Amino acid sequence: MKIISVVGARPNFMKIAPFIKAVNNHNTRHSIIHKLVHTGQHYDDSMSKAFFEELEIPEADVNLKIGSGTHAEQVGQTMIAFEKVLKAERPDWVVVVGDVNATLACSVTAKKEWIKVCHIEAGLRSHDLTMPEEINRLVTDRISDLLLAPDTLSVENLRSEGVPDSKIRFVGNIMIDTLETNRKKAEKINIGDIIERNYKGPRQTIQGSRKTAVPDTRPEKGDFSVVTLHRPSNVDSREVLGPIVNFLTDEVAEDLLLLWPIHPRTKKMLSEFGLSEKVALHKNIILLEPLGYLDMLRLNMGARLILTDSGGLQEECTVLGTPCLTLRRNTERPVTLRDHGGASVLVGNNIDVIREEYHKALSGRRNPVRPELWDGNTAERCLKAILEYGR
Ligand code: UD1
């Protein structure tokens, strides 16, 4: 059997790492030929190479190097380049993960070449078509042959869309395999060292010049909060990003040291809106480069609370019990919400709501929760589903 797995952007890497390990463990008799294709949507070392190294992902067999662009450019260029790979390789399966542009582009290209598609992390729905990821999820799930769902709510979503049970397998959350594999390693990391290695001084943030000395402030255990923002709906408009920045600088950072690993998109927008200085010069805010997997996991383990618009962090917070304010109006991961026993609460970008939930979260306690089958063994179930398909 020949399998091509696809990655494109940062959140894909922690999902493919355990799958490749499962293939290698199974492959003592070399019954599977596996190739990894990186579309190259994320290309900075901090957004891509660092994850390959830490998560021990073998170097991609092919990198399509499509880089940044509009959605149509990214999807179109990926399809053109991936079609050539498929024509040359003729795999039995293309495995796609998550909901980024690579997921959509490569699943469509594979189906048009009559190649079977397996979608890991199928069935998540935000029901919000203004999110590019929702379109990617809907299209990929509609055409996939094998839909591997992370939770029972996702299974129900697929059933309600008319997907037959013969195509659906409930396998659990593959990202939690990566969390469990790396938990002990992350525990050993000193938070001061994370800051030292990744500190983005004010001058560097504002002008792109060299780093300045790391500030003296050091977070004691649990005495810091973490923010990550990258969604266009939060960072692409001044009317939304401005009040969020004011809340972070004038309220959160007045209570707690705030660690902020900055996504390239957010850095660009802060600068465009003239907000960089306000953030970078605040004495209680430490701006960091985009973090590697282990450093981010370590911060999550230690933080008093996290404010984020990342879906993956919502899931990790749930398993670690870190109170999580999700700066979105909806989520495709309801299983992580407090209403379902998780650690996260939707706060959108209305500052009054964010403030109210922030104070609740500050006084809240850690409450680790493990949804069904988030047990660290999902990758094996994914591979088993592929191997048993059609039997
Ligand atoms: C993409 C995914 C999103 C995911 C996020 C995680 C889609 C539709 N979106 O959004 O689901 O949550 O990744 O990060 O696939 N840039 C760099 N270096 C890089 C990559 C990007 O500087 O290595 C900058 C470029 O200016 C680029 C911008 O970041 O235009 C946005 O990158 P892009 O890949 O278009 O989308 P993300 O916002 O990262």
272 lines ligand 1 (CB under 6 A): no
Same domain, 383 and 318: no
41 lines ligand 1 (CB under 6 A): yes
User: Is-above-0.75 flag for pTM?
Assistant: yes
**Taken in order 36, 41, 43, 49, is the CA torsion positive or negative?**
negative
Residues 197 and 302 sit within 8 Å (Cβ to Cβ):
no
Same domain, 163 and 188: no
For residue 178, is it within any domain? no
275 lines ligand 1 (CB under 6 A): no
For residue 220, is it within any domain? yes
What spacing in Å lies between the alpha carbon of 363 and ligand 1's midpoint? 34
Same domain, 215 and 293: yes
pLDDT tens-digit map of 232-256: 999 999 999 999 999 999 999 999 9
Residues 36 and 58 sit within 8 Å (Cβ to Cβ):
yes
What spacing in Å lies between the alpha carbon of 131 and ligand 1's midpoint? 14
Structure tokens at 151: 């939770």
Structure tokens at 332: 């495709």
**Cα 41 vs. chain centroid, distance in angstroms?**
14
State residue 163's pLDDT score.
Answer: 98
Q: What's the rounded mean pLDDT across residues 127-131?
A: 95
Same domain, 202 and 140: no
Q: What's the rounded mean pLDDT across residues 327-356?
A: 96
Same domain, 125 and 190: no
What spacing in Å lies between the alpha carbon of 230 and ligand 1's midpoint? 8
For residue 369, is it within any domain? no
Structure tokens at 52: 């390959």
pLDDT tens-digit map of 261-314: 999 999 999 999 999 999 999 999 999 999 999 999 999 999 999 999 999 999
115 lines ligand 1 (CB under 6 A): no
For residue 368, is it within any domain? no
Neighbours of 76 (CB within 10 A): 15
State residue 203's pLDDT score.
Answer: 52
Q: DSSP class of residue 63?
A: E
Same domain, 303 and 324: yes
Task: Return d(Cα 17, Cα 354) in angstroms, integer.
Answer: 34
Same domain, 47 and 23: yes
Structure tokens at 302: 């230690």
Same domain, 223 and 138: no
Q: What's the rounded mean pLDDT across residues 183-194?
A: 95
Average pLDDT, the chain: 94
Which candidate, 8, 10, 4, 7, places its Cα nearest to that of 291? 10
For residue 344, is it within any domain? yes
Task: Return d(Cα 24, Cα 3) in angstroms, integer.
Answer: 12
What spacing in Å lies between the alpha carbon of 48 and ligand 1's midpoint? 11
pLDDT tens-digit map of 75-106: 999 999 999 999 999 999 999 999 999 999 99
Same domain, 83 and 139: yes
Q: What is the CATH number of the domain that holds 332?
A: 3.40.50.2000
Residues 146 and 385 sit within 8 Å (Cβ to Cβ):
yes
Q: Is the pLDDT of residue 364 over 90?
A: no
**Cα 331 vs. chain centroid, distance in angstroms?**
13
Number of domains forming the structure of the chain: 2
Same domain, 359 and 378: no
**Is the pLDDT higher at 135 or at 219?**
135
Same domain, 104 and 207: no
Q: From 10, 13, 41, 332, give the residue whose CB has the most ligand 1 atoms within 8 Å, as the site to mutate.
A: 41
H/E stretch holding 260 reads strand 257-261
Return the residue whose CA atom lies nearest to atom 28 of ligand 1.
265
In which domain, by residue range, is 330 found? 184-363
pLDDT tens-digit map of 160-186: 999 999 999 999 999 999 999 999 999
Same domain, 309 and 281: yes
What spacing in Å lies between the alpha carbon of 267 and ligand 1's midpoint? 12
Q: From 7, 48, 66, 68, give the residue whose CB has the most ligand 1 atoms within 8 Å, as the site to mutate.
A: 68
